[in-house]
Amino acid sequence: MKNFQYIKMVFLIPLLVLAFTACDMSNKEQGQDPQVNDANVASTAQEIAEARGLSPDDITAALKTYMPTGKYDEYIMLSSGGQSGQVYVIGVPSMRLLKTIAVFTPEPWQGYGYGSKESMQLLKDGEMPIGENRELTWGDTHHPAISETNGDYDGEFLFIDDKANARVAVIDLRDFETKQIIKTPNVITDHGATFVTPNTEYVIQGSQYATPIPYYEYADLDEYKEKYRGMVTLFKFDRGKGRIDMSNSFQIELPPYWQDLCDAGKKVSEGWLVCGSLNSEMATGGIEDGNPPFEAGASQRDMDYLHLIDWKKAEKIVKEGKAKKINGFDVISLQTAVDDEILYLIPEPKSPHGADFSPDGNYIVVSGKLDTHVTVYGFDKITKAIQDKNYEGRDHYNVPILNFNDVKVAQVNIGLGPLHTQFDNKGNAYTSVFIESTMAKWKLGEPYNTGDDAWTLVEKIPVHYNIGHLVCAEGDTVDPDGKYCVALNKWSIDRFSPVGPLHPQNFQLIDISGDKMQLLYDMPFGIGEPHYVQMIKADKLKPWLIYPEIGFNPLTMSKDPNATMPGDEKTVRNGNNVDVYMTAIRSHFYPEHIRVKEGDNVTIHITSIEQARDATHGFAIDGYNINLSLEPGESSTVEFKADKPGVYPFYCSEFCSALHLEMAGYLLVEPKSGKTAKK
């Protein structure tokens, strides 16, 4: 208690003085007597702090994160949703969840995968191109990547991968909706995805677990070295169309080393990309047969290999026709990659995970999960080693291995289990340290810091618990902002009220603007394991508030030729095909009766003719598993077979107005043997 009294005097009083001042101003504006009100506020705030047992740090944290009603966040995080298969949008510093973006998994609020032709097509595009019924209804989203211009986030597009099935998706940040899903040819799983080149020429996807190439062919594990391969895919992005252009995309075959995270070079290293790897032992597991389990077999050597790839040269090789076609897709063979000198290996410490380029593009920071150091390579040293052909040897596949000591710049001892690194605007790096459950701040070398300051640990802050990735504001771009980092913790231990044996994960917001880091906020994330997040300055995003014109199709991002315009509502029968042209506006659908016969193929072209912000309508047909979400101006199409005779109410599934319950109608499916439908 004594302590609290002291702390209160030293810290709380200045804060309350601030509160007085703010209150004083607002009272003056309102013409009230400031003296009386100040006293009331003072005792109330003080009482609350005391009653809740808030420390001075708690109070500053609250003041830094509290967002008054009507105020917007300074940053937006775009977070992977892990096994949910989705992306989540979160404001910083308030840590308020703003939105789910449906990507690989059906999502009913957005009417994604519940009958709308546009979303059904997207999900179908992402199916496995093998066998029958390889419908995929989930994804394991890992690494979101915001599109970049000159190495800086431009806020136009977002890319995200699905580790479970090696897919990538394109999200347009004008409406925050998924526009394209691609099942990557020749690859079953990924991990090093997605990353973009500095002008978003390519979206990079590194594979994870090596498999026989092409992927659907069988090869036993005793043929691992010969038949199994890794792969890195470079998806050409057509910014004008907002789509990946598969005809100009290609792959590079890699040794079967279980490639891990990738990153694209920038500035001095632009044109190159790196991917870590974790099983250069080429272990094949089989604990049940007395073999070392993967965890041991893949950790025998002290070093694995960082893959260094000259993507500009690779692009040239493909244009020269030196790639081979596998499943109709251009693949540069491992042999060609070696012969044409586009692939090099750099030894990296045991069980590496992150590989991150510094903002100037010269340093590559690599972390070994079973090491206590981050290892830093210099791109200038790498370039020189390549020019001099200074190799310490070649691997089993004849890929040159650069000499570790000749390309290494520094190793900084930051703690056990370092993973991922981001940067600020003051020459500091921030690394997540998994085993220790800390976030370490350390100093980069020249030109950021010189002399004794370079390559030193500055401070560590404990996090709860088992931090995986971390994100700092624009911290993986050429121009980081500093200000905030968020620790993406795998375990939340005792931070939240228990809610059963599956516990939420924990996003911890950390203020990095001062000399000492301060923990500000714990945000439970009870949706999936959010793998990685990017944080962009909110004012770089220019989202639409409503669709730009009535009848807009979000998938084509243009006016739909079949959109129903007001006055054009009608029902057209052509044999067994019935087309219904419908509009929606507060608070009715037009028409309100849909009369069809059992067995008819029904297509409803429905347009929201709203132009008011927030005036979203749903369109749900009971008993048919159909639900659409129609944002103002949006046109959507739903196709179904009226295979179940009966009377099915349809209604607006979004509380849009006082007469929302009346925004309804009837789908009348007349039985085949019944009386003639009313005309």
Interacting residues toward ligand CUA by CB under 6 A: 587, 617, 652, 654-656, 660, 663
Do the strands 593-597 and 664-670 form a parallel or antiparallel pair, or are they unpaired? parallel
CB of 556 to ligand CUA, least distance (A): 24
Q: Which residues contact 595 (CB under 8 A, 6 or more apart)?
A: 571, 668, 670, 677, 678
CB of 622 to ligand CUA, least distance (A): 15
> Cβ closer to ligand CUA: 385 or 652?
652
Length of the chain: 679
> Cβ closer to ligand CUA: 194 or 608?
608
CB of 657 to ligand CUA, least distance (A): 6
Contact 652, 629 (CB under 8 A): no
> Among 494, 519, 370, 376, which Cα is nearest to 435's?
370
> Cβ closer to ligand CUA: 433 or 656?
656
> Cβ closer to ligand CUA: 253 or 654?
654
CB of 629 to ligand CUA, least distance (A): 11
CB of 634 to ligand CUA, least distance (A): 13
CB of 151 to ligand CUA, least distance (A): 44
Mapping DSSP onto H, E and C, the string for 526-555 reads CCCCCCCEEEEEHHHCCCCCCCCCCCEECC
- Residue 236 token pair: 């050409």
- Residue with token string 């070696």: 338
> Cβ closer to ligand CUA: 331 or 652?
652
CB of 122 to ligand CUA, least distance (A): 24
Q: Which residues contact 103 (CB under 8 A, 6 or more apart)?
A: 81, 85, 86, 87, 139, 141, 160, 162, 169, 171, 178, 181
- The span from the CA of 430 to the CA of 144, in Å, is 19
**In 490-592, which ranges are E strands?**
505-511, 518-525, 533-537, 552-553, 558-559, 570-574, 577-585, 588-590
**Ordered DSSP codes for 134-148:** -------B---EEEE
Do the strands 243-254 and 329-332 form a parallel or antiparallel pair, or are they unpaired? parallel
> Among 419, 211, 401, which Cα is nearest to 305's?
401
Q: What are phi and psi of 629, to 5 degrees?
A: -120, 125
Please classify residue 429 by burial: count the beta carbons closer than 10 Å to its beta carbon, then call 0-12 exposed, 13-18 middle and 19+ buried. Answer: buried
Q: Would you give the DSSP letter of residue 239?
A: T
> Cβ closer to ligand CUA: 441 or 617?
617
CB of 435 to ligand CUA, least distance (A): 51
| Torsion angle of the four alpha carbons 445, 537, 534, 350, in this order, in degrees rounded to the nearest 10 | 10
> Cβ closer to ligand CUA: 49 or 656?
656
CB of 654 to ligand CUA, least distance (A): 5
Please classify residue 171 by burial: count the beta carbons closer than 10 Å to its beta carbon, then call 0-12 exposed, 13-18 middle and 19+ buried. Answer: buried
CA 308 to chain centre: 24
> Cβ closer to ligand CUA: 260 or 634?
634
CB of 102 to ligand CUA, least distance (A): 20
CB of 101 to ligand CUA, least distance (A): 22
Q: Is 30 left (phi over 0), alpha (psi -120 to 50) or beta?
A: alpha
